[in-house]
Amino acid sequence: MTTRPRSAAWRCITFLMLSMQASPSTALWQDQAWVRKYPCNQSYDGFVSLEQSPFWIDSFRGSWDTQSDSAELKLDILAVHNQSLLTCEEIDVSLFETSLNFQTLGYSVGQLRNFRSNCPLPITDTLTPFKQLNGNELDCGIAKITPDLGETASAALIFTPFSILVIVAFSSWITHRDRLSSSYVLDHDSVLAGQELLWATVLDIAEYLRHLQFTFVSASMTIEYPGFYVPAVGKLAWASLLYWRGPFDYGYSYQGPSGGMYPSNSSYGLGFMTQMLRYPNMLNTLANSMVNLAIIMSPIFFILSLWFWIASSSINSRPNTFLSFIKKAVGTTVGIALCFFSVPLLSYIAYDLLLVGYLPNYRIGLAILMLLIICGASHFLTRTLYDQFSIKLTSASIDEMENSLKTNLAWIRNMISRHLPHTMPLLQAVGIGGLQGFPIAQLLILILCECVYLFFYLTVKRDNQTLNMGKIIFSATRLLTALLKCVFVLSASQAKRQWIGYIILCIHGSVIVLGFFVVSVWNLIRTNWRISDESLDSLNDANLGAQSLNRNVRHLNSYNL
């Protein structure tokens, strides 16, 4: 069977839904993509036996060709057939040919160009049931066809967010460079002490990565997304330590798009995401992500060590040992890694906990140990950064606070202010990775954690709403996208799912462009204006001083004369 869109305007459509009731085929091409069959009826449980029905759709095979004048879809339908109970003559082939429906966003966009069928239908051929001559419907199947995004679209989805990341980092560094002090690398009271400029920049970058990772990890939930959604969001995998397949694959990796379209089978959640990325299966993802983490952090550690040594040598102070530089570089590197990549790592670690009883005990124990270490280290880092950026209290005020904490609940608010904003993303990651078999529970955790995060910034930190307005807006948009995903767990039509998928992608794109790119560029412009004004004021002050000096000299000369 071959279908063709009605006009060339539909060539670039990547979101396609093919609704049909049967399609015999003459051959099964080995290079065609395997496409999962979805039932037309939401109440259908998906389990059929030959005793219940002599003929039902199992899956599809297809290919998408865009080389011709207009895009073409070739689809073979595989089915289970009991010839002793049902013959080819009892199937209404002519009705099937007229009932094909090729849709995108709820609109019919394709037309049947070629249709072939053989009779009798051998059991080894690719089959699918359609109506009998007496009008009884044997089965109905939906195939979600998602054409390959192509190199141009893929590059745009990868490098545009990455370019914005570079701009965010540069803008943050320039904006906060007034925090650079002479004790920047020489204060050894704490591993993270004296690094206000560095950590202000790191936290701004982490806020951007937080949104990218939320988009990627939430797309790995076990809910039925539109066909285009996971391949599109999967281009953000580089922000979640999946930019290289890694050395661990045990001889197998998914092949990705074949026949010009994305394959889909019974995999779901994180497993389906790795399939779209052409990565090894999820059992190898954690190890490969750790390798990718080491690749990223190794040059950062080297640069920090060199930077600390050069900065120390350029300032007249007491000599510092090599071990002190290494200690400071290690602590800073670990802190940066926790700020940037705790969320994806916890999601991959929690996935292993699903396989208790299947994976070796040592691997489950190692996963639990890594989870506890990352959570504990993240909270230690949070406390350290909180102390570093907070107002330093006098010993008298500290004693007064300690006495008051015994009689009131101020210490609770203090602990919440430190840890709650950083705990919510970690809970979301663990919930999504560890509850792959419970899509509704995943969605509830995603929504509840974002509600708590937003409520915290609207209440506990209401005194700094001007400074936290960006966090409030970002959290509100994440909550909005999570609420929109409720449609995907309901009995909504494919057209509604596709429209909601479009809307969610547009929201994420708007946040990335308007919330990070535009704001970063504006901060650069504003900082440049401020520096220019300060330079002009300094020049004016110097001119005034020179003029005053000249007047004094002239007055002195006239007096001497």
Residue 537's pLDDT is: 57
**Residue 300, both tokens:** 């950062």
Beta strands in 42-155 (DSSP E): 55-65, 72-81, 101-104, 107-108, 110-114, 141-145
Residue 42's pLDDT is: 56
Q: Which residues pair with 101 in a beta bridge?
A: 19
Give the global pTM.
0.79
Residue 561's pLDDT is: 41
Of 34, 77, 32, which is closest to residue 58 (Cα–Cα)?
A: 77
List of long-range contacts for 252-256, beta carbons under 8 Å, 24+ apart: 252/280, 252/281, 253/278, 253/279, 253/280, 254/278, 254/279, 254/280, 254/281
Is the Cβ–Cβ distance between 336 and 300 less than 8 Å?
A: yes
Is the Cβ–Cβ distance between 197 and 408 less than 8 Å?
A: no
Rounded distance, CA 549 to CA 546, Å?
5
Of 454, 461, 455, 460, which is closest to residue 476 (Cα–Cα)?
A: 454
Residue 377's pLDDT is: 87
The segments of the chain whose pLDDT lies below 50 read 1-30, 44-47, 120-131, 133, 182-191, 391-398, 401, 405, 407, 546, 549, 551-561
